[in-house]
Amino acid sequence: MRRLLYIIRVVGLALLVGELSAQQSPAVLSANTFHYFKDSSEWMQFFQKCTHLADKDAKPLNVIHIGGSHVQAGVWTNEFLTLLQQQFKTKGGGYFAFPYTIAKTNGQPYINFESTGSWKKCRAVLKDYCLPLGVNGMSASTSDSSVVITIKLTDKSVCQSFNRLKMYHNFNSSFTWRVIKPLAMELVLKDYADKGFSYFGFEKFVDSVQVEIMRKDTLQKEFTLFGFSIENTAPGFYMGGLGVNGASSTSFLKCNFFDAQLQSIAPDMAIISLGVNDVQAKAFSKTEFKANYDTLIFKLKQANPNMAILLTTTTDNYVKRKTPNKRTVLAQEAFYELGLKHKVAVWDMFKVMGGYRSINKWIKVGLAKRDRVHFTNAGYQQMGQLMYAAFLQSYNHQQKLSHK
């Protein structure tokens, strides 16, 4: 039933947003596809791994989604993940999640964080920039004598339980940590300082946990947290929603622990959705934009040379609500050039949503906000459904080829 509803919504979007007749709508729907360049072997391998999730000994597939405010909100990412899990009938995997509420900013819908104590944040953007920073582009630090962090999956999480938890932090010798809930089970605790995380293994699956962080002395004043890996070892899709409000193509390149933490996640697939904040700047340079993406793609390939990478083009937007942003067209060109150069896939969301000045049509049907940059929750859900439809089209095509 859910799959039928998303198909209806995709067709409806083509008609409403594109203001097209029934005869023209197939042209819009045909734009909703993954574009490949020369060699797509990494994607063929990833699709095969998806097929094998039904195997008894299958392991979760790790996916990351890198971006700015479109990704930090988590709605786009979670809709895509939910549809993947439903398609392949899986419920395992888990999440890499940053405790955004501790940093006093909006977070993702599939997980809740609460904490005692006082924290200060660092972000890889503008005035909040400071180090250290991890794979998520944010960090939170405390010098309190004791803080308790509560982590709980919500009803919007397609993965409803976990049996492993990894806490990414700075390994300050002045601090220690422990799980205080749940206690009525065996627990394995091991520190992996070389990989940047502490590991908690639970005897049974749980949907929430409380971790206490305690300061033993004042030799080193701050405990710095980079995020949590919440893992369910059953087959499924593990999603790292790595979003930072205001992030541009340079932001994640400034994070000193990005490479090491990315390698510990070892993504099978990466989605990169940066660019809106780049094209908002008058000094936008297509050459510099591509160079930043060159470096980011290189870092991803270092973490896993066989990673399937998807670049999503910059969504249509306006500058200061009033001026249509022609620089978005330059960014669109850059993505196709990057796809050809690095042999990675491109999903042209700019074209799918209708191209230049199309965000007005999304506003008209309640899918985008009046700032002409961001989307409503329904709009982000629609983006997740469209991206999933393009993914499924490619997957089904590969399945047909493999059975010939």
Find, among 377, 385, 371, 311, the residue nearest to 341 by Cα.
311
Tokens of 193: 């300082």
C-alpha distances in Å from residue 377, one per residue of 73, 75, 384: 9, 7, 11
Host H or E run for residue 312: strand 308-312
How far apart CA 201 and CA 231 sit, in angstroms, is: 10
DSSP single-letter state for residue 207:
S
Q: How many CB atoms lie within 10 A of CB 143?
A: 18
Q: Give the mean pLDDT of 207-233.
A: 94
Res. 18 pLDDT band, cuts 50 70 90 = very low
Find, among 109, 70, 156, the residue nearest to 387 by Cα.
70
Beta strands in 36-137 (DSSP E): 61-67, 92-97, 111-115, 120-123
- Tell me what the pLDDT averaged over the chain comes to: 92
Host H or E run for residue 248: none
Find, among 265, 213, 289, the residue nearest to 63 by Cα.
265
Three-state DSSP at 346 gives: strand
Tell me the β-bridge partners of 197. 168, 192
- Exposed (0-12), middle (13-18) or buried (19+): which is 219, by Cβ within 10 Å? exposed
How far apart CA 8 and CA 293 sit, in angstroms, is: 35
The answer to whether domain 2-402 has CATH 3.40.50.1110 is: yes
Find, among 363, 382, 379, the residue nearest to 371 by Cα.
363
> Which tens digit of pLDDT belongs to each residue from 110-169?
999 999 999 999 999 988 899 999 999 999 999 999 999 999 999 999 999 999 999 999
Amino acid found at 52: H
Find, among 237, 90, 109, 229, the residue nearest to 164 by Cα.
229
Tell me the β-bridge partners of 310. 271, 345
Residue-range domain boundaries for the chain: 2-402
Find, among 350, 387, 393, the residue nearest to 83 by Cα.
387
Beta strands in 89-232 (DSSP E): 92-97, 111-115, 120-123, 138-142, 146-153, 162-169, 175-181, 187-192, 197-206, 208-215, 223-232
Find, among 219, 225, 217, 221, the residue nearest to 198 by Cα.
225
| Confidence check: pLDDT of 10 > 70 | no
How far apart CA 254 and CA 126 sit, in angstroms, is: 12
Host H or E run for residue 75: helix 75-88
C-alpha distances in Å from residue 145, one per residue of 101, 117, 221, 277: 20, 9, 10, 38
pLDDT at 28: 52
Of residues 62 and 194, more confidently modeled: 62
> Which tens digit of pLDDT belongs to each residue from 90-126?
999 999 999 999 999 999 999 999 999 999 999 999 8
Please list, in sequence order, all residues whose beta carbon lies within 8 angstroms of the beta carbon of residue 198, skipping any fewer than 6 positions away. Answer: 166, 167, 169, 177, 189, 190, 191, 192
| Confidence check: pLDDT of 265 > 80 | yes
Q: Give the mean pLDDT of 314-342.
A: 97
